[in-house]
Amino acid sequence: MAAAARFLLRTAGSSKASITNVNSGLHSKFGATLLRASPSCHPLAKTQKRHAAHFTFQPEPVQTKYGPTQKMNLFQSVTSALDNTLASDPTAVIFGEDVAFGGVFRCTVGLRDKYGKDRVFNTPLCEQGIVGFGIGVAVAGATAIAEIQFADYIYPAFDQIVNEAAKYRYRSGNLFDCGNLTIRAPWGCVGHGSLYHSQSPEAFFAHCPGIKVVVPRGPVQAKGLLLSCIADQNPCIFFEPKILYRAAVDQVPVESYQIPLSEAEVLQEGSDVTLVAWGTQVHVIKEVAAMAQEKLGVSCEIIDLQTILPWDSETVCKSVVKTGRLLVSHEAPVTGGFAAEVSSTVQEECFLNLEAPIARVSDDQLLKCRITWSSEAQCRH
Amino acid sequence: MQKMITVISNVLRGSATKNGAKAVSEGTRVVVSARTYADFTPQATFDIKKCDVHRLEEGPPVQAVLTREEGLQYYRTMQTVRRMELKADQLYKQKIIRGFCHLYDGQEACAVGIEAGINLTDHLITAYRSHGYTLTRGGTVKEIMAELTGRRGGIAKGKGGSMHMYTKNFYGGNGIVGAQVPLGAGVALACKYQGNNELCVTLYGDGAANQGQIFETYNMASLWKLPCIFICENNKYGMGTSVERASASTDYYKRGDFIPGLRVDGMDLLCVREATKFAADHCRSGKGPIIIELQTYRYHGHSMSDPGVSYRTREEIQEVRSKSDPISMLKDRMLTNNMATVEELKEIDVEVRKEIDDAAQFATTDPEPPLEDLCNHLFYNEPPMEVRGTNPWMKLKSVS
């Protein structure tokens, strides 16, 4: 977060809108405050912040266009989407490790009892098998919803996803496809998840034409986007930010509804800089934007990318043409992260509109550590 | 006078329990120190459960010899693992240990029995339920507890946590289900190649037994006759799924098909030890890999977020605890055969408890690793490599 603010400090100087509000004295004072808040400089703050989340979730405004709503957290909204699907699509089946009794994150609670054990069932611990099996289920015409228990465990299935699922339609000359396959996986940092329970592998899959990769930022989007993934005629990977499962609560429509894929959402209009993120990081940049507005008078436009592949470059480029500046932030390592793709495309499309180098905010730790650092390191994002 | 004669006749009959009961009233220390070594049975032979065998003409022996020293050592180690896990449970509930944590209590006979059947120069690799093996392979309680709390004095410098503990000839501690099995076969290949007569014990659970790479590994290990003991610790539940619901065949010792196998009572330390010795001889004689299925039981849930009672009954857990607890089994054997006294074992318990308390104290007071260590060991590098922080201006150093 400090990094984002520093980027703003650097760019704010040239911004016409903010230059009148902020004098250089304030610049340095603000910068110093942020630096003091960083753990290396202030050991006392460290213990106090140890178990605090690195963001505050703000609920979505209540929407009534999809009918009555109910208070749900993110895992309940996923359950609700799956419930709608099982009710309306008799071919839909859900399978994965421990999904029958509700899954480790409680996303499938009650579904086996409601729809039967032939439709919601456990698999053995075999990720490659789960995805390969899901492709078979989908190619034969059923709606397959597979759960990989953690996105970190998806790698044994990497071959099945990249070589089998993504290329099935192309290599069979459109005779076969597994568009009915949706793979759900809890994703991202959770605060103390250590090496194998914190990864954000969206960029690995973003390199693979033929699949869609989606990350929601909250319960309302989770349900709408998941239902879109299930309905979409391409294999989709749906990454659910696991830290939001309980932390994020919205008024979510009870009935089925879809949020279109490959459409980014502009959450806040602004004129000085475009901030792009997805998943949990959206909430971080929302706070950064509020801070920048308050302390520096910088007006930020916030975009939630929502679909990583194929991504909505049009919305992002339009915004950058207006603001002239772009900052992209994600939890995954910066080298080869999806921000690099966004940055490169925007640079090609909006070169003459850019007023500052595009900034990527992430790091190259590779590891999300399990100890105190974890929340601290993420605080700095 | 009458009383004295009774006491003497008791001693002659070798009734350890009666002596023990008496000793309590007379003051433990005096009596224990007054007893001589000759009062104890130095070693005893026990009948143990016969193993089921697969593609073997003969299985491990059905009798095992236990000496008093061995018994006391096994007792201490198992008790240390048990107490350490209970302490970890407590620290987790106090939010001092964070993240993922898988406890080993109930399965102590496996770790201790396997170690008793191999040499410390042999190799061992396991999955994420690794605390017990870290101890039997030479780690200290202090290092393990400090690793759990993520402190500088931890066995992986506080960076690994519950799942990732390592020590000499112990390759971890691996978080991905089944991923350690091919590694184990690789270690065995190195042993064979170097011709040092060493072997590798490769452990996995009943859940991992269904992973594809296990079968790939069986094939390679058998093809190349690798000195590898595959051990499936079957604790009856892969997370919340019972073996019957996850495996088409629950005869895990037969699932190597062309690899010989043994099914062993994993709650009886002596059974585990004898089977491991048998398997080690098999490997060292150049016959290639062998599979052991240890039938065991975990008292805790799969991990800390699993209370462990939604897919099995409390009665089931209670029954295992009361009828086949590995520690009680060894204790009974030693007491009924006059190989130790109740006080002696109690004294061990007290020492173990103190060791655990000291370790817990260390684990809560030892400092956390410094921020400068954050990026160390990303790559092997000389001189130190710069690692980009959260912004282009924040440079961290990676030293290895």
Domain at A247, CATH number:
3.40.50.970
Residues A29-53 as b or e (16 or more Cβ within 10 Å = b): ebeeebeeebbeeeeeebeebbeeb
Which whole number is the average pLDDT over B216-220? 96
pLDDT of residue B60: 97
With a cut of 90, say whether residue A5 has pLDDT above it: no
Contact of B102 with B303, CB cutoff 8 Å = yes
Helix intervals (H) in chain B: 2-13, 16-26, 28-34, 68-93, 108-117, 131-136, 141-148, 180-194, 212-223, 243-246, 269-284, 314-324, 326-336, 342-365
Q: Do B391 and A3 touch (CB under 8 A)?
A: yes
Residue A54 lies in a domain: no
Which whole number is the average pLDDT over A173-196? 90
Contact of B294 with B52, CB cutoff 8 Å = no
Chain B: give the shortest CA distance to residue A373, in Å.
7
Could you tell me which residues come within 8 angstroms of residue A244 by beta carbon, excluding any fewer than 6 positions away? A57, A73, A74, A217, A218, A219, A279, A280
Chain A: give the shortest CA distance to residue B304, in Å.
12
* CB-CB neighbors (< 8 A) of B387 in chain A: 363-365
Q: Do A197 and B99 touch (CB under 8 A)?
A: yes
Range of the domain at A308: 2-49+263-379
Tell me, yes or no, whether A215 and A313 share the same domain.
Answer: no
Tell me, yes or no, whether A210 and A267 share the same domain.
Answer: no
Q: Do A194 and B161 touch (CB under 8 A)?
A: yes
Residue A204 lies in a domain: yes
* CB-CB neighbors (< 8 A) of B394 in chain A: 3, 363
Tell me, yes or no, whether A231 and A288 share the same domain.
Answer: no
pLDDT of residue A372: 36
With a cut of 50, say whether residue A380 has pLDDT above it: no
Tell me, yes or no, whether A211 and A298 share the same domain.
Answer: no
Residue finishing a domain among A253, A274, A304:
A253
Of B95, B207, B375, the CB nearest to A365: B375
* CB-CB neighbors (< 8 A) of B390 in chain A: 2-3, 361-363, 377, 380-381
Domain at A325, CATH number:
3.40.50.920
A329 bridge partner residues: A361
Tell me, yes or no, whether A234 and A188 share the same domain.
Answer: yes
Tell me, yes or no, whether A118 and A203 share the same domain.
Answer: yes
With a cut of 90, say whether residue B39 has pLDDT above it: no
Chain B: give the shortest CA distance to residue A126, in Å.
5
A373 touches chain B (CB under 8 A): yes
Q: A365: pLDDT confidence band, cut at 50, 70 and 90? A: low
With a cut of 90, say whether residue A8 has pLDDT above it: no
A158 touches chain B (CB under 8 A): no
Tell me, yes or no, whether A127 and A9 share the same domain.
Answer: no
pLDDT in tens, B303-329: 998 999 989 999 999 999 999 999 999
CA B60 to chain centre: 21
Residue A58 lies in a domain: no
Q: Which of A344-348, B12-16, B98-102 has the lowest mean pLDDT?
A: B12-16
Residue finishing a domain among A253, A283, A302:
A253
With a cut of 90, say whether residue A16 has pLDDT above it: no
B293 bridge partner residues: B232, B263
pLDDT of residue B38: 66
With a cut of 50, say whether residue A360 has pLDDT above it: yes
Q: A195: pLDDT confidence band, cut at 50, 70 and 90? A: confident
Best-predicted range by mean pLDDT among B29-38, B91-100, B284-293?
A: B284-293
Tell me, yes or no, whether A99 and A231 share the same domain.
Answer: yes
* CB-CB neighbors (< 8 A) of A334 in chain B: 388
Q: How far apart are CA B280 and CA B269, in angstroms?
A: 16
Residue A61 lies in a domain: no
Which whole number is the average pLDDT over A210-227? 97
* B contact test, residue of A131, A364, A367, A380 with most B CBs within 10 A: A364
With a cut of 90, say whether residue B137 has pLDDT above it: yes
Helix intervals (H) in chain A: 2-12, 16-19, 24-37, 43-49, 74-88, 111-115, 127-139, 158-159, 168-171, 202-205, 219-231, 244-247, 281-291, 313-323, 338-349, 373-379
pLDDT in tens, B155-200: 999 888 899 999 999 998 888 899 999 999 999 999 999 999 999 9
Tell me, yes or no, whether A11 and A150 share the same domain.
Answer: no
* CB-CB neighbors (< 8 A) of B385 in chain A: none
Helix axes B180-194 and B212-223, enclosed angle (nearest 10): 10
A101 touches chain B (CB under 8 A): yes
Tell me, yes or no, whether A236 and A98 share the same domain.
Answer: yes
Taking the alpha carbons at both ends of chain A, their separation in whole angstroms is 5
Which whole number is the average pLDDT over A105-113? 96
Which whole number is the average pLDDT over B114-131? 97
Domains observed in chain B: 2-39 (no CATH), 43-365 (3.40.50.970), 371-400 (no CATH)
Q: How far apart are CA A130 and CA A119, in angstroms?
A: 15
* A contact test, residue of B92, B95, B98 with most A CBs within 10 A: B98
* CB-CB neighbors (< 8 A) of A192 in chain B: 98-99
- Report the sign of the C-alpha dihedral through residues A242, A248, A254, A255, in that order: negative
Chain A: give the shortest CA distance to residue B98, in Å.
6
Question: How many interface pairs between A and B have CB atoms less than 8 angstroms apart?
Answer: 117
Q: Do B389 and A363 touch (CB under 8 A)?
A: yes
Q: B26: pLDDT confidence band, cut at 50, 70 and 90? A: very low
Q: Do A373 and B374 touch (CB under 8 A)?
A: yes
A369 touches chain B (CB under 8 A): yes
| Mean pLDDT computed over every residue of chain A | 85
* CB-CB neighbors (< 8 A) of B310 in chain A: 101
- Strand-strand pairing, B261-265 and B52-54: antiparallel
Local structure of residue B343 (DSSP, 8 states): H
A366 touches chain B (CB under 8 A): yes
- Strand-strand pairing, A300-304 and A265-268: antiparallel
- Report the sign of the C-alpha dihedral through residues A10, A15, A18, A23, in that order: positive
Which has more pLDDT, B96 or A363?
A: B96
Q: Do A192 and B98 touch (CB under 8 A)?
A: yes
| Mean pLDDT computed over every residue of chain B | 90
Nearest to B113 by CA among B290, B270, B257: B270
Helix axes B2-13 and B16-26, enclosed angle (nearest 10): 130
Residue A183 lies in a domain: yes
Residue A233 lies in a domain: yes
Q: B31: pLDDT confidence band, cut at 50, 70 and 90? A: very low
Residue A63 lies in a domain: no
Q: How far apart are CA B308 and CA B95, in angstroms?
A: 19
Closest residue on chain A to B373 (Cα): A373
With a cut of 90, say whether residue B85 has pLDDT above it: yes
Nearest to A264 by CA among A215, A315, A229, A224: A315
With a cut of 70, say whether residue B23 has pLDDT above it: no
Q: Do A192 and B245 touch (CB under 8 A)?
A: no
With a cut of 50, say whether residue B44 has pLDDT above it: yes
Which whole number is the average pLDDT over A20-28? 36
pLDDT of residue A26: 34
Chain A: give the shortest CA distance to residue B353, in Å.
27
Please tell me whether the interface predicted TM-score (ipTM) of this complex is above 0.90: no
- The neighbour count for residue B57, using CB atoms within 10 Å, is 6
Of B212, B369, B394, the CB nearest to A129: B212
Closest residue on chain A to B387 (Cα): A364
Which has more pLDDT, A364 or A246?
A: A246
Tell me, yes or no, whether A313 and A333 share the same domain.
Answer: yes
* CB-CB neighbors (< 8 A) of B392 in chain A: 359
pLDDT of residue B35: 58
With a cut of 60, say whether residue B86 has pLDDT above it: yes
Q: Do B390 and A363 touch (CB under 8 A)?
A: yes
With a cut of 90, say whether residue A362 has pLDDT above it: no
- The CA distances from residue B96 to A51, A195, B157, B360, in Å, are 11, 19, 17, 10
Residue finishing a domain among A253, A276, A307:
A253
Place of tokens 């098998």: A129
Q: How far apart are CA B198 and CA B215, in angstroms?
A: 23
pLDDT of residue B37: 65
Q: Which of A265-279, A296-310, B12-26 has the lowest mean pLDDT?
A: B12-26
* CB-CB neighbors (< 8 A) of B311 in chain A: 101
pLDDT in tens, A45-103: 444 444 457 889 989 998 888 999 999 999 999 999 999 999 999 999 999 999 999 99
Residue A56 lies in a domain: no
Q: Do A377 and B374 touch (CB under 8 A)?
A: yes
With a cut of 80, say whether residue A39 has pLDDT above it: no
Contact of A187 with A151, CB cutoff 8 Å = yes
Tell me, yes or no, whether A86 and A194 share the same domain.
Answer: yes
Q: Quote the number of domains for chain A.
A: 2
Which whole number is the average pLDDT over A161-173? 93
Of A7, A196, A359, the CB nearest to B175: A196
Percent share of chain A, pLDDT over 70: 82
Point out the residues of A that are catalytic. Answer: 127, 197
- The neighbour count for residue B101, using CB atoms within 10 Å, is 22
